[in-house]
Amino acid sequence: MIAGVNDAGSQRPHRDHARERLMCFTGVHAEEFREQLDQNGFFWVDLESPTDEEIDTLADVFGFHPLAIEDAKASNQRPKLDLYGEHVFLVFYGARAGRVPLPPHQPGKGATADAGLLAEVHMFISGNYVITLHREPMPELEALRERVHGRPLRSEQFLVYKVIDAVTDTFFPVLADIDDEIDRVQDAIITGPGEAQLQAIFTLKRELLSLRRVVTPQRDLFARSVDDLRDLPGLEADEHEYFRDVYDHLIRISDLVDSYRDLLSGATDLYLTTVANRQGEVSKQLTIIATIFLPLTFITGFFGQNFSFLVVHVINTTWSFVVFGIGTLVVSCVGFVIFFRRKGWI
């Protein structure tokens, strides 16, 4: 393991990972943190909804840069990795595990707002500690914390990888839900397009846009700045493949987001095409009805003229009423029906 350098300029002693047990904290315990730092221990602090006072206490204990503290107190930060001497400040995003899927029969109602889709995580990482701050509960980090607490530490970088990987993998269940919803929307469009399907498409597009706004910068961040994590003093340099795995996951997530956006564009085209086809069918049916009534209107209008010749010499008997009054109407209707059937219009 590469030995780190502390503030006094001396090298950190090597850690015996076979004997060292990883300590995990879920609250701010300044004295215990100082004791861990004095013993050159490596530990993880995971805080949910930390207050500004708790963040100030962390800054006092660990000596964080004021700019990093300012960013840690704010939300809606862009994904980034800032290097401050022997520690880095990382802003990383996952997807919210409690995302509410669109109802299967009423897509567009109960859709999750964009602001509730993403889970923002702030991380302070050094050769002695990993500190994660998040405003919302993250079951993935809680499960990881329970698995590693009190167990022998494999390596510092491996824990950093596991934390980042746990946050990254939260995107996959959300994307799987979106994939299922796209399938349901497409099926509903084919069955009977309506306003609900169009609303569902736009809702899913907004969600994918929110994901793309953070996934693409995070992918580029790992391609460009991951060496800042690898080269931190005190972190072992033998876990590069794991960070490459995170990068591969981010590439896959980015590709899935782009693919689902293309599917939604196709669903929009399918919706417009289906609606246009249905409107064409309605127009054809109305045209057929109008065509049938056109000769009927002509016949009734012609024989309805009040000229003496028609009244006295043509339509003054029973047979003329049957032939001209009823027969021509029936014959024209039957003729048009036969014609339309041969054309395949009805």
CA-to-CA dists, residue 61 to 28, 36, 73, 159, 243, angstroms: 10, 11, 16, 22, 28
pLDDT value at residue 214: 94
pLDDT value at residue 114: 45
Q: Spell out the domain ranges in the chain.
A: 23-276, 283-343
Confidence class for position 100, pLDDT limits 50, 70, 90: low
Comparing 176 with 285, the larger pLDDT belongs to 176
Mean pLDDT (whole number) for 62-72? 93
Collect all residues with Cβ–Cβ distance below 8 Å to 271 and sequence separation of at least 6: 189, 193, 197, 198, 201
Q: 319 pLDDT exceeds 90?
A: no
CB atoms within 10 A of CB 60: 11
Mean pLDDT (whole number) for 116-125? 91
Q: 259 pLDDT exceeds 60?
A: yes
Structure tokens at 291: 């065509």
CA-to-CA dists, residue 293 to 147, 281, 303, angstroms: 79, 19, 15
Separation between Cα atoms, residue 215 and residue 221, nearest integer Å: 10
pLDDT value at residue 295: 78
pLDDT value at residue 283: 77
Q: 345 pLDDT exceeds 90?
A: no
pLDDT-wise least confident of 59-68, 75-84, 203-212, 303-312: 303-312
pLDDT value at residue 66: 92
pLDDT value at residue 215: 94
pLDDT value at residue 16: 54
Mean pLDDT (whole number) for 321-345? 78
Pairing of strands 43-48, 80-84: unpaired
Q: 67 pLDDT exceeds 50?
A: yes
List, for residues 150-206, the tens digit of each pLDDT value.
888 777 888 888 999 999 999 999 999 999 999 999 888 888 888 888 888 999 999
CB atoms within 10 A of CB 140: 19
pLDDT value at residue 99: 57
pLDDT value at residue 233: 64
pLDDT value at residue 155: 78
Separation between Cα atoms, residue 121 and residue 83, nearest integer Å: 17
Burial class of residue 252 in the structure, from the number of CB atoms within 10 Å of its CB (0-12 exposed, 13-18 middle, 19+ buried): middle
Domain topology for 23-276: Beta Polymerase; domain 2 (3.30.460)
Confidence class for position 107, pLDDT limits 50, 70, 90: very low
pLDDT value at residue 17: 52
Separation between Cα atoms, residue 187 and residue 189, nearest integer Å: 5
Secondary structure (H, E, C), 105-160: CCCCCCCCCHHHCEEEEEEEEECCEEEEEECCCCHHHHHHHHHHCCCECCCHHHHH
Structure tokens at 45: 């602090």
